[in-house]
Structures are given as C-alpha cells and as structure tokens.
Structure 1
Amino acid sequence: MSDDSTDIEQPFMSHLLELRDRLLRSVLVVLVVFLALFPFGNDIYVFIAEPLMKVMPEGTSMIATKVASPFLTPFKLSLIAAVFFSMPYLLYQLWGFVAPGLYQHEKRMALPLLASSVVLFYLGAAFAYFVVFPLVFKFFTSVTPEGVAVMTDISEYLDFVLTLFFAFGLAFEIPIATILLVWMGMTTPEKLASKRPYVIVGAFVIGMLLTPPDVISQTLLALPMWVLFEGGVIFSRFFVRNREEEAGESDEADEPVMATAAAGASGSAPVEEAFRPLSQEEMEEELDRIEAELDEEEASWHEETDEETPMDPVDAKLVRVNELRDAMDFSAARRLLYEVLVEGNEEQVRTAKNILEQLDD
C-alpha cells in the first residue's frame, strides 16, 4: 500500500474512532439518565397523564389491556424521557464531531442555531402539554356518547401524547429551517413572504398528517406553525441585513488597501515609451532577422528529425538508385527498383515505376 493511501486512511480511521467514542459517550449518558429515571417511571407517567385524568368523568380511570403494559409502558416512557433530557448533551457531541470541519463564520452561525433548536423543541413539547392536551382531552371527553365509559389504555395514551410531543417539537423548528434556507441562499425573506398563502395551507396539511384525526389538535398545530413561520421570516430579514452590513464593512476595509496597492503599482511600474513606427530600413532588418531565426529553427528541427528518425529502408534504396543512375550503373539500379516494387508502399511504387520508365526511354 502506498504512502498516499496510508495518509488518506489514517484520518478516515481517526474520524471513525472519534465517532465511535462520541456515540459510546452518548449511549452511556442516556443509559445513566434512564437508570436514574426508571425508579420514577410511574410518577412520570402520572405527570404525563394528568391532563387527561383531570377531565375524565368521575368513577373512571385509565386501564391496561395488556399483561405487560403496567411494566413496559413506564419503561418505555423512562427511556424516551432519558433521550429527551439528554438531548443537549447528544447535540453537544454532534457539534464536537462536526465543528472541526466548519469555517469560522459557519461556526458563528451554526452554534446559535443548534442551541435555539433545542430550546424551541422543548418549547414545542411544553406548548403541547400545557395548552394542547387540556383542550384536546376536554373536547374528547365532552363528546363521549351517553352510556360509554371513558377508560383509556395506558399504552395507547402514551403513543398518542408522544406523537403530539414530537409533532409540536418539530413544528417549533420552523424558524430554524427558515433561517437556514435564507442562509444557504436557497431563498430570500421576500420570496418566503410572497408564499404565505401556500404556507398557511401547508401548515394545516402538516397538522392533519402529524396529529390525531381531530380538528382541534390540527388547528392548534397549524396556527403555531404559521406564527413561527412569520417569526422565521422576520429573523431572517435581520440576518440578511447584518450580513449585508458585514459585507459592506469588509468592502470599505478593502478599498484603502486596494487603493494603496494600486498607487504602489502605478508608482513602481516602469513608464512605457511612446510608440514610434519603424522606418523602411528598420522594417527590412527586422524581417530579415525574423526570417533568419525561422530558418535556424527549421534547420535545427530537420537535424533533430534526421537524428531521431531513421530513414525507411525502401527510401534508402530509392536514394541508392539515384546514386547508381548518376554512376551509369543501370542494371544495379533496375534490380533495386524491382525490389522497391515488391517492398514499397503506393507512393514508393509509383516513384519506382516512373524511374523505370525513364530508364527504358
């Protein structure tokens, strides 16, 4: 294996080792947090189920329809809560792995966005718990048909609230996505603002897909998405304005340097002489000089060609034929010409025939 391939493999292996170490640290932290939360799994579930328990009719309670649900449901909730609370550390490990490959201006932009994304996700989950859950569960229990007892399964309820947590946490990332689109130059705040009607319709469509099939949760997700989109457009305008100001300052800082460089170049550059046409004699001398240089180059090229390229044997025989003709040895010349007719190419054969005709004449 060559040294170049070894140099390429070593950084690649070092990146893999670093990725492995960071993944192991992340898994270890999640495991530690999970072990700390698991003894309180039932208490955490009671906290999560409180919005529904408050609005359930008297004499009703949640139930477990599966044998292992009383154990697996708190276990699952504790594991997801461990990942949820470990998210800052997980993103820190991700940042530590990615940051060395970023430019300085990218780091200045990415780090605030990364921190803001964590905060916004937590805000989305809090909005779902404190605002959406009470309204949705109150609506569900109020429309229960007469004679039907509301007894929600604990595992079904957990899946329901986790879906809403994820949907609202993801929806609250819209400002980050908007700023990233503007930062990468894929769009502008003005174009985003002009697409507002489509964004509103898209927000309700996404709300329909990410939330359970009810109008309240869909609307409660779509409206914050719209508001967050408007917030993202506003912040992206500030971002574009700041970037233009920085670009203007850098241009202003470059102008004196460029002016100094131009002045220095103009001061140090030699002054060109005024153009003067050549006289007739000078023109002839210049042409003779150029012609002599061309002749020398052609002669040297022929010499190099003669030295490097050996003469073709058939051509050598034709040259020998001319020498024999000059020496009046026509019989020997004829023998060589017959050999040329057998060995030569089309041009050489034609030349040999012409010489034979001349000898016959």
Structure 2
Amino acid sequence: MSEKNKQGEMSFLGHIGELRGHLIRALLAIAVGAFLIGFNIKWVMDTILLGPTKPGFLTFKVVNYFSRMVIGQDSITLPEHFPLQVRRLFDQFNAMMAISIVGGILLAFPYIVWELWKFISPGLHENEKKNSIFIINSTWIMFVLGALSGYFLVMPFVINFGYFFSLSDSIRVDIDLSSYITIFLQIVLGMAVIFLFPIAVYILTSMGVLTPMFLKTYRRHAIVVIMMVAAVLTPADVLSMLAAAFPLLILYEICIIMSSRVYKRVQKNNNTEDNKDHLTKIEN
C-alpha cells in the first residue's frame, strides 16, 4: 500500500506512522532532559527545588524589603537549614526519578509543542499556519510563565506558612522529603497547566464556541472557581491561596480582552464572507 493515495492525501496509516515519529522524537527529548536533570541532580535540588526554603530567596528579599519600609522589620525569617528528612530507604531515589522526569518534560516542552506543530502544519492553509504558529509559541511561553509564577509567587508563601504554623511548642518540625517534592510539583505544574487557559479561550473563541459576553456574564462564578482551584493547589493558608489566585484573576481578565478582539475579528471575517456570497448571488 502506498503512503499516499492518488489525490496526494496521506492515508490513515500514513498519519499514524507520521504521529509515531513525532512522539518518538518528543519522548527522546524528554529522556535527554531527564538525563541532564538526573546528572546534575544535586545542583538542581540545592539551587532550584530547595531555593524557596532559603532566607535569601528572591521572593523573600522583595517581601522583606517592603516589610522593612512599612513595619521596620523582616516579616519572613526562615532558618538557614530547612529541616528536611527521609524515613524510607528509597525516598531520595524516588524523589530523584520524579524530579528528573518532570524536569525533562519542562525542559523539552517547547520542543514537544514544536513537534506537535510539525505534525498538524501540513494540513493547514497559509492563514491557519500563521494562527497556529501564534498558538504554538504562546502555549510554551504561557506554560513557562505559569511554572515561574508557581515557583516565585506561590511556593515561598506555602513553605513559610507550613514551616511556622504550630499547634504546640512541643512539636518538632521535621518535613518529609517526599511531602515537600509532592507539594512543589503540585504547585509548579498546576500553575503551568492553568496558565494554558488563555490558549483554550483563544481557540474556542476562534471556533465560535466561546464569546467574551459569556466570560463577562459569568465573571463572578469564575472568581469562585479560581478561588477553589487556588485552594486545591495550595494546601496552606489564606495568603498562599491569594498568592495563587491573584495571577489567575489577572489571567481571566486578559482572557476577556483577548476573546473580545478575536470575536470582533471573527465577526468581521464572517461579514466579509457573507458580503462576497451576496455579491456572487447577485452576479449569478
């Protein structure tokens, strides 16, 4: 059986084979990223993952700077040595595997999106390719911005609350490594995925499924949902929840503005096509 039929269109099996090639290359990119993370795991652990546990972390410096201006003293004072511990034999190994795999996905994500675009681009028209390039680039940019938002805006406040909250002075604070890694990945990856919401809004508005009027009408409901999502992402205090909800609320307002522009463009294109059809009927 030939790869293409007489009309030059790729067969179903041809599409499957093409997709398999893209998936294999994407998995190889993830494997390379995971290997790089695993090979430098101590630096990644000490510098990146444990960064929000150190007093000199950027977020703490900014908060304490403004705190000294307002109340004359630091509001966040984490210890120099954060009390992490392991109580199971393979906790550190399991943590290394989880960090390597997730880190590999993060490093390879732009390439994964690029492979996706290469798979779908042959079947698109020129104007559709331009829009798809915008969507592809926006996807990995928003994903990275979401991960950075979780890392710098949410995780530090979760750590600060979790460490200083106390039921009794007789309780010693020793935090399990597995618990810390789980919360870290939950927040960073959760924020990264949520930041893809504008991409979904753009696509749905372009398809005519979603309108800016709908987003404006249900803004209050969206705020409630955002607060619930922020509470799930941050198993901590109200301040941590607000730190997660604030960028999501801004993101929702950006979605309304973007949806309005896309909606106007779609309506303009539809009107232009209707006028062309009307003129064609008159000429006929």
TM-score category, normalised to shorter length? 0.7 to 0.9
Task: Report Cα offsets for 1:311-360 as digits up to 9, x if no partner.
Answer: xxxxxxxxxxxxxxxxxxxxxxxxxxxxxxxxxxxxxxxxxxxxxxxxxx
CA RMSD of aligned residues (A): 3.0
Change (3 A) 1:198 1:59: closer
Change (3 A) 1:53 1:68: farther
Name which of structure 1's ranges 95-104 and 185-194 shifts more when overlaid on structure 2.
95-104
Change (3 A) 1:32 1:187: closer
Q: Is the 8 A contact 1:207 1:222 kept in 2?
A: yes
State the partner residue of 2:226: 203
State the partner residue of 1:93: 115
State the partner residue of 1:78: 100
State the partner residue of 2:19: 19
The answer to whether residue 156 in structure 2 is matched with residue 115 in structure 1 is no
Aligned pairs, number: 258
- CA positional deviation for 1:56: 4.1
State the partner residue of 1:40: 40
Change (3 A) 1:59 1:123: closer
Q: Is the 8 A contact 1:175 1:233 kept in 2?
A: no
Q: Is the 8 A contact 2:162 2:236 kept in 1?
A: no
State the partner residue of 2:29: 29
State the partner residue of 1:138: 160
How far apart are the structure 2 equivalents of 1:28 and 1:173? 24
Counterpart pick for 1:162 among 185, 188, 191? 185
The answer to whether residue 51 in structure 2 is matched with residue 50 in structure 1 is yes
Q: Is the 8 A contact 1:56 1:150 kept in 2?
A: no
State the partner residue of 1:315: none
State the partner residue of 1:233: 256
The answer to whether residue 243 in structure 2 is matched with residue 220 in structure 1 is yes
How far apart are the structure 2 equivalents of 1:154 and 1:61? 9
How far apart are the structure 2 equivalents of 1:240 and 1:214? 39
Change (3 A) 1:210 1:129: closer
How far apart are the structure 1 equivalents of 2:128 and 2:32? 33
- CA positional deviation for 1:30: 1.7
Q: Is the 8 A contact 2:53 2:82 kept in 1?
A: no
TM-score normalized with structure 2 length:
0.79
Q: Is the 8 A contact 1:179 1:233 kept in 2?
A: no
After superposition, residues 187-198 of structure 1 pair within 5 angstroms as 187-198=210-221
Q: Which has the higher helix share?
A: 1
How far apart are the structure 2 equivalents of 1:239 and 1:146? 57
Q: Is the 8 A contact 1:125 1:165 kept in 2?
A: yes
The answer to whether residue 209 in structure 2 is matched with residue 186 in structure 1 is yes
Counterpart pick for 1:66 among 88, 94, 105? 88
How far apart are the structure 1 equivalents of 2:150 and 2:183? 12
- CA positional deviation for 1:60: 5.1
Q: Is the 8 A contact 2:230 2:245 kept in 1?
A: yes
Change (3 A) 1:138 1:213: closer
Q: Is the 8 A contact 2:153 2:244 kept in 1?
A: no
Larger Rg: 1
Task: Report Cα offsets for 1:3-56 as digits up to 9, x if no partner.
Answer: 9xx989x81221121122112111222222222222211111112112124354
Unaligned stretches of 5+ residues in structure 2: 56-76
How far apart are the structure 2 equivalents of 1:256 and 1:90? 44
Task: Report Cα offsets for 1:219-246 as digits up to 9, x if no partner.
Answer: 2222322211110110111122233444
Change (3 A) 1:67 1:224: same
Higher relative contact order (CA 8 A, sep 6+): 2
* Superposed structure 1 runs of 4+ greater than 6 Å apart: none
Q: Is the 8 A contact 1:18 1:97 kept in 2?
A: yes
